């Protein structure tokens, strides 16, 4: 069988060359020539899929048969939640995260749980030997006859392993270490990652086998390699958290089989990752009482509310330009809230450094935490503490008004479960429902009213 040739194609104008060139002769762009497979057969570039001779006819959507795809329980409830209920056969999943965050640990635990149910699982590692995987498995208690491990980076050899064992799930750790023998680029290059991902995707769809690949991340936190990598897969999961903290958050940023708003919370222990059933209790543990600069907000993550503490520190600056730092929230949002406090409430913050932190390493993107952010900043600036039994929900507008938010009933119910006695919410959200017993709802129209309630003036 003749060896397939490769060619170099400019990603800007499509110019083709037999050799790599630093500058494209067609459009003059530097470093745009990327290696691709060059085959006589008609193949979709970057996927390895042959173009079919027969073309499908258009069908009315009402006549298209619905696919009933049973999901496999991974044995980890938090992982099932993020995936949308379980593992779908034939799905192609990408998991990314910082080094040492626990990606391999999570996947080995999930593989073991599936193997215990009698499913053949193939775990292929290009970064560790089988002896190293066994050491981790001993620590996690993930030992099963149905869990097959191999240390391999050659895609052809991985295909042979797959044909011999016919697994229901294959884990490839990581995609940047796997190489296609017919592509001359080094493992981890754009051409290798694209070709290997296309081949693995074809295997998953043709065989009805779920495949999970691990992807390295860049310094900026994005998955390394071409952006097309995330477009090709069915599901993209990010494993987040501070490496030196015990809590981890699994978040879906793309999911063709479920919601992208769900999160799974884990705690890293000596025996592996343990599920956190009540994230609110975990995020509020160790909360200081009577300390200025703290406020609790209720955020909706997927289908469940989570109570999270925001901490602020406002201190006089020794520089001409004050410093603004935010961890866990949008920096621009913090700047906007501080501008509202200055303009609408008369806070003089131009000579103050400001630091905002979301406790627990979670990132909050919804505007419902604006009110808690403003309260924590004002509390630190005035050096007046908020009550330990107060919770704040609401979006702050540029005119200083407090606007309504969605799913207020669930947020307040979670606050009642965690023992909060007073909840400050937008006045608009007070109408049309009955709050739980033991919880006092205080409706406010403006940020000034909320500050009078929270700080007493």
Tokens standing for residue 39: 């085959």
**Does 428 carry a binding-site annotation?**
no
Cβ neighbours of residue 269 closer than 8 Å, sequence gap 6 or more: 246
CA distance 184 to 19: 11
Q: How many C-beta atoms surround the C-beta of residue 208 within 10 A?
A: 12
Residue 107: phi and psi, rounded to 5, are: -70, -35
User: To the nearest 10°, the Cα dihedral for 277, 283, 284, 290?
Assistant: 180
CA 4 to chain CA centroid, Å, is 38
Q: Please list the residues that pair with 367 across neighbouring strands.
A: none
Stated as kind and residue range, the H or E segment containing 131 is helix 130-140
Q: Does residue 368 come out as left (phi exceeding 0), alpha (psi in the -120 to 50 range) or beta? A: alpha
**Does 100 carry a binding-site annotation?**
yes
**Does 3 carry a binding-site annotation?**
no
**Does 101 carry a binding-site annotation?**
yes
Q: Please list the residues that pair with 96 across neighbouring strands.
A: 215, 238
**Does 103 carry a binding-site annotation?**
yes
- Give the CA distances from residue 338 to residues 249, 269, 355, 400, 407, in Å, rounded to whole numbers and listed in that order: 29, 39, 11, 11, 26
- Give the CA distances from residue 197 to residues 93, 191, 233, 238, 252, in Å, rounded to whole numbers and listed in that order: 11, 10, 8, 18, 19
Cα–Cα nearest to 265, from 173, 359, 360: 360
CA distance 126 to 240: 22
Tokens standing for residue 159: 């295909």
Cβ neighbours of residue 115 closer than 8 Å, sequence gap 6 or more: 121, 144, 145, 146, 147
CA 36 to chain CA centroid, Å, is 30
**Does 300 carry a binding-site annotation?**
no
* Residue ranges of the binding site for ATP: 97-104
* Residue ranges of the binding site: 97-104
């Amino acid at each position: 069988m003749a060896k397939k040739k490769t060619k170099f194609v400019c990603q800007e104008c499509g110019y083709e060359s037999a050799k790599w060139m630093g500058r494209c002769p067609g459009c003059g762009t530097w470093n745009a020539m990327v290696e691709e497979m060059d085959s006589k057969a008609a193949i979709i570039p970057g996927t390895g899929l042959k173009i079919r001779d027969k073309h499908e006819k258009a069908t009315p959507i009402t006549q298209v048969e619905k696919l009933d795809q049973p999901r496999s329980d991974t044995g980890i409830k938090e992982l099932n939640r993020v995936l949308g209920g379980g593992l779908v056969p034939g799905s192609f999943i990408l998991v990314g995260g910082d080094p040492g965050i626990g990606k391999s640990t999570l996947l080995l635990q999930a593989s073991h749980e599936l193997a215990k149910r009698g499913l053949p699982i193939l775990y292929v590692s290009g970064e560790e030997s089988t002896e190293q995987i066994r050491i981790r498995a001993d620590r996690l208690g993930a030992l099963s006859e149905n869990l097959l491990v191999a240390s391999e980076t050659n895609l052809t050899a991985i295909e042979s392993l797959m044909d011999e064992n016919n697994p229901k799930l294959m884990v490839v750790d990581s995609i940047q270490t796997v190489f296609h023998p017919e592509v001359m680029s080094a493992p981890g290059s754009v051409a290798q990652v694209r070709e290997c991902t296309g081949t693995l995707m074809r295997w998953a769809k043709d065989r009805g086998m779920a495949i999970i690949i691990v992807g390295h991340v860049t310094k900026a936190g994005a998955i390394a390699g071409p952006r097309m990598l995330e477009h090709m897969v069915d599901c993209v999961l990010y494993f987040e958290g501070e490496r030196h903290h015990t809590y981890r958050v699994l978040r879906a940023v793309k999911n063709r089989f479920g919601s992208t708003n769900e999160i799974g919370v884990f705690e890293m222990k000596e025996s592996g990752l343990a599920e956190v059933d009540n994230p609110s209790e975990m995020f509020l543990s160790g909360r200081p009482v009577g300390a200025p600069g703290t406020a609790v907000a209720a955020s909706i993550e997927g289908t469940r509310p989570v109570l999270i503490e925001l901490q602020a520190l406002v201190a006089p600056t020794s520089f001409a330009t004050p410093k603004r730092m935010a961890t866990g929230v949008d920096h621009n949002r913090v700047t906007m809230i501080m501008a509202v406090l200055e303009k609408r409430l008369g806070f003089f913050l131009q000579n103050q450094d400001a630091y905002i932190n979301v406790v627990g390493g979670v990132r909050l993107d919804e505007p419902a935490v604006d009110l808690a952010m403003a309260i924590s900043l004002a509390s630190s600036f005035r050096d007046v503490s908020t009550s330990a039994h107060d919770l704040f929900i609401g979006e702050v507008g540029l005119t200083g008004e407090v606007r309504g938010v969605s799913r207020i009933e669930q947020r307040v119910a979670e606050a009642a479960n965690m023992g909060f006695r007073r909840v400050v919410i937008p006045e608009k959200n007070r109408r049309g429902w009955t709050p739980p017993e033991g919880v006092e709802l205080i409706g406010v129209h403006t940020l000034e009213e909320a500050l009078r309630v929270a700080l007493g003036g």
